[in-house]
Structure 1
Amino acid sequence: MTPEIDACFAAIRAEHGADSLDRVEEMLRPRRRSEHRHPLQAAAKWVLPGIPQLPWHDPYGHPEILPLVKALEAAHPRIKADQERAWASSRERFSDYEHYLVRQRDWQALYLYRDGRLAEDAAPLAPTAYAVLEEHAVATGLICPLLESHFSTLLPGAAIAPHCDLWNFSINLHLAIDIPDGAGIRVAGETRAWEEGKCLLFDYSFEHEAWNDGDRTRTCLLADLWHPDTTPPERAALTVLMTEIQRMMA
């Protein structure tokens, strides 16, 4: 590890206790890369031990996440109207989604949160979703600053190939905005359908894929949140750790 990471970990332990980062330290041991993983997590790079190996989660089952879920679902009609207006009038503001594995032209994104902060230039285009995220995800520290929130639009015929994301210490929330027949998502071999106006919640360190075989775009609002089984000191340490690793890799 670097001096910056060492100093951060030492400060966190001094404040929260000598054992507060035991799981993070265990994750960094080389043997952890392959041990104690679900087979469908095999391609994830970082697996924090002690996180339940549960691909699908009840979006109403985590008290920390529930206020965000309720706020998003209650605001769905206004969020959908904002998104449709933005897609019709400001199509150039949507970009090809650049997943860490691939860039897809048939997967379009309008970012509301990225690089550790709200995307202020998106507020006029998506004021309702922006306000909900600001109040219930950003101000509360629920959103993972390493990742993002965006409108995710799959064009007709688009497919996202099966893959695992990088780690298991964040979790992916989907609010279904506009869902045509023929759109679906599969996580760890289990296929589910989005229900417009409702949320899905899953651990994307498990292999997952999505597709749109419908005749119009499929749009969800995605938010990358801290996994509810992580602790505040772990979140602080993981933010510094992964930021430094990404800096070194760049």
Structure 2
Amino acid sequence: MTPEMENAFQAIRTEHGADSLSRVERMLEAGGGAARHPLQGGAKWILPGISQTPWHDPKGHPELSPVVEAFEASHPVIKEELTAAWAGRRDAFADYEHYLTRQEDWQALYLYRGGGLVRESADSVPAAYKVLEESAVETEKICPLLECHFSTLLPGAVIAPHCDLWNFSINLHLAVDIPDGCSITVAGETRSWEEGKCLLFDYSFEHEARNRGSRPRTCLLVDLWHPETTVPERRALIVLITEIRRLMGDL
């Protein structure tokens, strides 16, 4: 812990109580402070006390269901925007870099990145941008340590099995444009996207995806705070990860 982290953590404890960051402190102990599921072995940080549940009901969390409902209600216009952007603004999409590995058959159009909205994207996908801003950013449901982007897998693309960094955020997929032959596997359970509907899963569990269809598959991915985290924990985790990235030269 750097002095900056210590000072920030103490300020949070003063405001929210001495035990408000106990789970974050346990996470930082040697060994991570809690047992993890075997299929979370590749995750770097596991916050104790988060349920070991790979798949979640998208409308099963009162905090997150308004986000899900807003995106699903806007799916028709979001799909129209995506189709127009893919046809006329392909330069807005980039090869996706997943932990420094660039994948040419995985394209991304970012709406939120680096702790803020990508203003340029409002020109290409204004409805999606507005829904994200109003339902997730202004309400502070989005995890500012991560991102939101249109994720397009080209025909034949495969995302290899992997765990993401931690369990204190959760991944929402709005199925925007889904051809036959596409699926995602999380913790050994394979599901397909239903166009216009959302999937919600804990991506600290090993997961993989594939497009065996004949045209691109696109979902809108939103990294949200896990609903089992608290406000003081979220504040502390932002300080912690931001400082670690600064020290590692990632910011």
Q: TM-score, normalised by structure 1?
A: 0.98
Alignment-mate amino acid for residue 102 of structure 1: T
- Which range is displaced more, 101-110 or 23-32? 101-110
Q: Deviation per CA, 1:147-182, whole angstroms, max 9, x where unpaired?
A: 000000000000000000000000000000011111
Indicate the residue corresponding to 1:147 in structure 2.
146
Provide the C-alpha distance between the structure 1 equivalents of 2:100 and 2:203, rounded to a whole number of angstroms.
14
Indicate the residue corresponding to 1:129 in structure 2.
128
Q: Deviation per CA, 1:210-230, whole angstroms, max 9, x where unpaired?
A: 000000000000000000000
Provide the C-alpha distance between the structure 1 equivalents of 2:7 and 2:41, rounded to a whole number of angstroms.
31
Deviation >3 Å, runs of 4+: none
Matches within 5 A, 1:112-191: 112-191=111-190
Alignment-mate amino acid for residue 114 of structure 1: R
Instruction: Mark the CA change 1:101 to 1:55 in structure 2 (over 3 Å): closer, same or farther.
Output: farther
Indicate the residue corresponding to 1:28 in structure 2.
28
Kindly state the Cα deviation for residue 100 of structure 1 after the two structures are TM-superposed.
1.1
Kindly state the Cα deviation for residue 246 of structure 1 after the two structures are TM-superposed.
1.0
Aligned length: 249
Kindly state the Cα deviation for residue 247 of structure 1 after the two structures are TM-superposed.
1.1
- The yes-or-no answer on 1:201 pairing with 2:192 is no
Alignment-mate amino acid for residue 11 of structure 1: A
Provide the C-alpha distance between the structure 1 equivalents of 2:140 and 2:35, rounded to a whole number of angstroms.
29
Kindly state the Cα deviation for residue 118 of structure 1 after the two structures are TM-superposed.
0.5
Q: Deviation per CA, 1:76-115, whole angstroms, max 9, x where unpaired?
A: 0000000010000000110010111521010000000001
Q: Deviation per CA, 1:169-203, whole angstroms, max 9, x where unpaired?
A: 00000000011111000000000000000000000
C-alpha RMSD of matched pairs (Å): 0.8
Alignment-mate amino acid for residue 109 of structure 2: L
- The yes-or-no answer on 1:231 pairing with 2:230 is yes
Kindly state the Cα deviation for residue 32 of structure 1 after the two structures are TM-superposed.
1.7
Provide the C-alpha distance between the structure 1 equivalents of 2:227 and 2:142, rounded to a whole number of angstroms.
11
Indicate the residue corresponding to 2:85 in structure 1.
86
Structure 1 unaligned blocks of 5 or more: none
Q: Percent identity?
A: 70
Kindly state the Cα deviation for residue 24 of structure 1 after the two structures are TM-superposed.
0.1
Indicate the residue corresponding to 2:3 in structure 1.
3
Alignment-mate amino acid for residue 242 of structure 2: T
Match of 1:235, SS state, is helix
Matches within 5 A, 1:57-72: 57-72=56-71
Alignment-mate amino acid for residue 81 of structure 2: D
Alignment-mate amino acid for residue 195 of structure 1: E
Provide the C-alpha distance between the structure 2 equivalents of 1:101 and 1:205, rounded to a whole number of angstroms.
18
